[in-house]
Structure 1
């Protein structure tokens, strides 16, 4: 996802990340245990940082693991972080753990995506929500953003599509601001340009944050976060999304994985999903 021109030095790259994080040279120096003068010399190419300094600055700038390799290469050092294919034997334990987690979360939906929202794994709860979608959207590699916002995907089923679409696009915008990914930018441009399916979905303000719904017996309830309200088999199910990543990853592939779980947001959804469990 990230490319570095051969003649690009580490100084301009570090300066770009610092400006992206809106830090002054002095603030970065204090965080990294250095001096503003040294940071200035590194950024202008007057001083070549050590490998340790490159990694320390990258840590303080919250540079993604993939781009830390790019910084090391630009400084004349070997990449530090491997990028192991997910199907490699070295990833057996990771795959087994993720699959166990997804199965354990059933009947509630859960999936794993990479840095560009390609679906790496999913459980039967996700398969339930995707039932009936056209084959062209379900042909691997599946993309979670494309499936959700495409006018032939889940979009017409989402009752609060304007709010949920806005949430997803804002999430992608924040990610693009943190990482340099041409592929992610292209995906954003694609899904943001999809025709508005809100009318077809019957979307309304009922799914807005802090809104209230009912439990089927007339009793009201309040949402504690913006829910995904989606039609399924004649019912409206409500979910709240939670995203988890791996702590201190040492591999590019692992660093870009995210586990997204959909927590039932009302009693109706809980009761229906539990009724599907043998």
Structure 2
């Protein structure tokens, strides 16, 4: 079952908005989608009604999130094709089990599952190592992992390279906003950017080429732990909830961290 509602704007206006969001001209998109610029112009201005297949074709070439593809279909007068089942529903049992298996398999290193707005969905036991000292209010549902990371009452006071890690997280969030145009994520970015940080924040490559080598350096008692992270998503999902799930896994960036984590969780 999907929760999409018919948008107030016509499909042509939505397509134009997304094309401009992607910084594509009509010529760029028409060449990419192998359609005439004239036809694309007629669709955007409402002079031509696109077929269901054309709506999905253009959405695919614009690399739209599944929920926004549904919105385009509704705006064009067609039924949505992507379902959106709650993660706690019976039909999502296999998905929950798969997420739990990935998280448990990553022990003794921390891993979390988050939704499209970075709210915590699930985590393995080792996450408690990262959450030591976090204010209980930040952990109340829906707990947001970015807020937990950068809030002054969260993990931030224990992050040795807070300026570098904060710049990395905010740059990731800006890229996500550029892809999704999600106003709630924009509000979250503004909130996080307003948190205090006494360290300089370096410029981050907008293409994210160096993201994988940016470590998280964390004080844990008298020990400094170092991690690098990877993100796992489900391949070719047809359900919106599944498409928006992500698993963030932290790996030890050095042998000392690996040994410390094994000792702490033994």
Query: Does 2:7 correspond to 1:9?
Result: no
Q: TM-score, normalised by structure 2?
A: 0.91
The aligned counterpart of 1:215 is none
TM-superposed deviation, 1:131: 2.2
The aligned counterpart of 2:131 is 130
Partner of residue 234 from structure 1, selected from 190, 210, 222: 222
- Give the number of equivalent residue pairs: 258
Partner of residue 264 from structure 1, selected from 252, 255, 258: 252
Q: Distance in 1 between matches of 2:98 and 2:66?
A: 22
Ranges in structure 2 where 5+ consecutive residues have no aligned partner: 205-210
The aligned counterpart of 1:248 is 236
Q: Distance in 2 between matches of 1:109 and 1:185?
A: 27
Q: How do 1:2-81 and structure 2 match up within 5 A?
A: 5-6=7-8, 8-81=9-82
CA contact (8 A) 2:231 2:249 kept: yes
CA 1:80–1:155: 2 relative to 1, 3 Å: same
CA contact (8 A) 2:4 2:70 kept: no
CA contact (8 A) 1:159 1:204 kept: no
- State the secondary structure of the residue aligned to 2:130: helix
CA contact (8 A) 2:110 2:127 kept: yes
Q: How do 1:104-253 and structure 2 match up within 5 A?
A: 104-196=105-197, 198=198, 225-253=213-241
Q: Distance in 2 between matches of 1:30 and 1:181?
A: 27
Q: How do 1:86-105 and structure 2 match up within 5 A?
A: 86-105=87-106
Q: Distance in 1 between matches of 2:85 and 2:252?
A: 34
Q: What do the CA deviations read for 1:49-74 (whole angstroms, capped 9, x no partner)?
A: 00010001000100111111110111
CA contact (8 A) 2:43 2:49 kept: yes
Q: Distance in 2 between matches of 1:146 and 1:235?
A: 24
- State the secondary structure of the residue aligned to 1:240: strand
TM-superposed deviation, 1:45: 0.6
Q: Distance in 1 between matches of 2:4 and 2:150?
A: 26
Ranges in structure 1 where 5+ consecutive residues have no aligned partner: 210-222
- State the secondary structure of the residue aligned to 1:236: strand
- State the secondary structure of the residue aligned to 1:183: helix
Q: CA RMSD in A?
A: 2.2
TM-superposed deviation, 1:139: 1.1
Structure 1 stretches (4+) deviating beyond 6 angstroms? 1-4
TM-superposed deviation, 1:204: 8.2
TM-superposed deviation, 1:275: 1.8
Which of 1 and 2 has greater Rg? 1
Q: TM-score, normalised by structure 1?
A: 0.87
Q: Distance in 1 between matches of 2:5 and 2:46?
A: 20
- State the secondary structure of the residue aligned to 2:213: coil
